[in-house]
Structure 1
């Protein structure tokens, strides 16, 4: 599809896509699809709970220590409330990792899951050790959710309900949460007044300052079609500003275009949440789901974080070993590496 997207008269929207989204549908440097909507991750928080805990609003955490500090204050000031949702375990599968631990990996000192140069899965690194240490602090200090919630088959959507029911103060969560609160069965009429969202900071505030995973939906043109120009015409209609906004608002996406993501029709649909996720989009990063072995890495980090949530006395070395052994046993010891 390079002949289409590289011609501004045919694809006026393409230049408005951040590079990470343009690259999302590339294979060996060539564009095979065009994105119509994205999912990424940030921090949600309950305004009243943080204010009661003495956390200055609007909350602007600059590091993981800031997150832990706020959660500790919430625990002291709001008994019975879950201070922080940090997804752990394997029940939510790839979705739980996409909305949980992978975001922390990308915000760590070593923001790497797969080494594309060596074609190996990273199973030990300073960044992974930062992530496991963060989980240890969350669960050893009883700042996280119960294992019954974390390991539930409904774990992906559980923080949506806990936030709505004022049982959760802070959550590492996906942009679609805000859209879910517009639904009848999970309606939170006062969400815009009672909660806020802010990009997830990097571990120590290092550049680029925030981090998130990225997942998207795209459309392509079949190579056997007799009408490629007509097919492209449909894609061009789908990528119009009005249609990007409509798809984003009604499917729980962030528009791929930075221009559309800053439009009032998107920002005002689920304020103030949509702005936070639109702002986080340029620093979002794809997970290597296209690589053979990704399910094994997902299972490994899920087992490691789940073990920490179950037994916070689990050491960082033990968590690393769980990840290493799970991935190595499934894809081969020659397909994993430790990065120093």
Structure 2
């Protein structure tokens, strides 16, 4: 997609309605001034959905606490909505005024252009070693880590317990959750027979088609890349996965009145909270949305082709540091950002998952708020697989998937042809 870099929300969790731009400036308590003072400029994304829960409050508190211990460093944090933050940073870089730190959706193009510090140039050893392994690996370009995960999420299958019970999908008097695709199909058929409008929601619309696609590919034993991290979008496993979706789910009328290629993630979530959807894949944001509407729901790992364990999909938003001659100060601030206390302060506010082992342990030990339900997501994180975010070509591939993957499951669609076309373009744009 180049430098235009449209909103690339890996988590799909940040609010789109808040057009807030806020700058927080904290001076070094006035004790150090003049040439010895360093100003760190940070650009961050807003995860709130209104001014009252904007991420600006978190950054203001964080920067203030850091400055108390580092009076020679001034921290300026600019918080932008997800609809504009990626483009704001791109414009700054193009103008030769890159921030010291950016917390946005993707890092690989900046790393490929030699504009970023590596993590081992910035972080204390204990901080660098604290990242959860799959997240650290996803932050690497040619085995060197540039991208630092900031927050993470995994995905689970949500199911409406009342709709399941009404349709007789029970075992021992309790709603029975599917483990295999055959189970999923059977449950969806019962929901359809019980007049549930959308037995299984399959959002392959533009909002997050790349996420729904990856979940299904992994569950079918495939994925976007092979073991050598080369694109394998058109693998036999992936083709069979989309043939199942076309023939057994869409073809039998089990995915509702809106064709998957035109159904966006949030529209599917909204329908679930209205009690119109029996099952769908969701992330932690759906916890609050469904609970607020009084929906009784269960959550289980996504069913797999044969019921065996497969990697779940993990997603992350990224932190990166530009080469602005403030390496030492930037590293100190990032070490502070990634302490367990500061990690969990952010993730607990927005029902996200920590990206460090220390944050993982702290969240797993917590018993407050939504932590009990979040633990189900948390358990899937260490063994998850992420988007191939280390590839500079990934944003363009993701956009191609958003535009075309819905055609693979349409009546008369050809998964083989659609996946082959996407894969061919991906390989052509992926330098070895």
Decide: shared fold, TM above 0.5: yes
Map residues 1-340 of structure 1 onto 2, 5 A cutoff.
Answer: 1-2=119-120, 7-8=125-126, 11=127, 14-15=129-130, 17-53=131-167, 54-56=169-171, 57=174, 59-77=176-194, 79-88=195-204, 90-92=205-207, 95-98=208-211, 100-109=212-221, 111-115=222-226, 117=228, 119-147=230-258, 151-152=262-263, 155-179=264-288, 181=289, 188-191=292-295, 194-206=296-308, 209-226=309-326, 228-258=327-357, 260-261=359-360, 263=363, 268-270=368-370, 273-289=373-389, 290-292=391-393, 295-296=396-397, 299-300=400-401, 303-308=404-409, 310-311=410-411, 313-314=412-413, 318-328=414-424, 330=425
Q: Provide the rounded CA distance (Å) in 2 between the counterparts of 1:80 and 1:302.
A: 28
- Which structure exhibits the higher relative contact order, with contacts defined as CA atoms closer than 8 Å and separated by 6 or more residues? 1
**Number of residue pairs matched?**
307
User: Deviations 1:73-101 (Å, cap 9, x if unpaired)?
Assistant: 22223x1431111223x433xx2221x12
Q: Provide the rounded CA distance (Å) in 2 between the counterparts of 1:268 and 1:257.
A: 20
User: Deviations 1:22-68 (Å, cap 9, x if unpaired)?
Assistant: 21212222222322201322111111111222333464432222222
Deviation at 1:242, TM superposition (A): 3.1
- SS state at 1:285 partner: coil
List runs of 5+ in structure 1 lacking aligned partners. Answer: 336-340
**What's the RMSD between the two structures over aligned residues?**
3.2
Kept in 1, the 8 Å contact 2:351–2:374? The answer is: no
Name the TM-score, length of structure 2 as normaliser: 0.62
List runs of 5+ in structure 2 lacking aligned partners. Answer: 1-118
Deviation at 1:19, TM superposition (A): 1.4
Kept in 1, the 8 Å contact 2:123–2:331? The answer is: no
Q: Which stretch of structure 1 is more off in the superposition, 117-126 or 31-40?
A: 117-126
User: Deviations 1:101-158 (Å, cap 9, x if unpaired)?
Assistant: 211111213x232347484543241333123313421112211032267515xx1211
Of structures 1 and 2, the larger Rg is shown by 2
Name the TM-score, length of structure 1 as normaliser: 0.77
Q: 1:41 to 1:106 in 2, by over 3 A?
A: same
Q: Provide the rounded CA distance (Å) in 1 between the counterparts of 2:360 and 2:177.
A: 21
